[in-house]
Amino acid sequence: MASTCCAEPRTLEGRTCSTLEAAGEPIYRHVAALAGRLNTKGNVGLVVGATAPAQIAEIRGMTNLPFLLPGVGAQGGDVEAAVRAAWNGDPASCLVSASRSVIFAASPAREAAGLKTQINAAAGVRA
């Protein structure tokens, strides 16, 4: 069974929880550290919003856990900034998630293909 920890949670209104602190550090840093400690079987990852590339880079500096990056497309996350911050060379280092922007597009296939191109370009993958 895989486990996922939400390192950069947001409320329904889009406000970030990254300003909450414990022991002088943002909560998301504690969550990321805990996820690393819990990863004894190599089955833990982090959910880090693509709308927060600075926090993605900060958390990537703490861990090599895989990241799920929701928030591109309809939520306005920057694909290039998020992938560049999360990518560590491992093909499993980040998984970008886009739903509404793809399923509600005039051509979902074209939208998904365009997103794939953006992700691969940001990761330095050749077509």
> Which CATH number fits the domain 3-123, given the four candidates 3.40.50.1000, 2.60.40.10, 3.20.20.70, 3.40.50.2020?
3.20.20.70
pLDDT at residue 3 greater than cutoff 60 = no
Buried b (16+ CB within 10 A) or exposed e, 35-49: bbeebeeeebbbbbb
pTM above 0.85, yes or no: no
Q: Where are the domains of the chain?
A: 3-123
- Angstrom CA distances, 108 to 99, 101, 104, 115, stand at 10, 8, 7, 10
How much is the average pLDDT of 38-44? 94
Collect contacts of 17-23 with beta carbons under 8 A, ≥24 apart: 18/52, 18/55
pLDDT at residue 115 greater than cutoff 90 = yes
**Residue 21 to residue 7: CA distance in whole angstroms:** 13
**Residue 110 to residue 2: CA distance in whole angstroms:** 31
pLDDT at residue 25 greater than cutoff 50 = yes
pLDDT at 2: 47
- Which residue in 48, 18, 22 sits closest to 35, CA to CA? 48
The pLDDT-based confidence of 106 (bands split at 50, 70, 90) is very high
pLDDT at 84: 95
**Residue 49 to residue 92: CA distance in whole angstroms:** 17
Asked whether the CA dihedral 109, 97, 10, 2 is positive or negative, the reply is: positive
Contact 86, 94 (CB under 8 A): yes
pLDDT at 6: 57
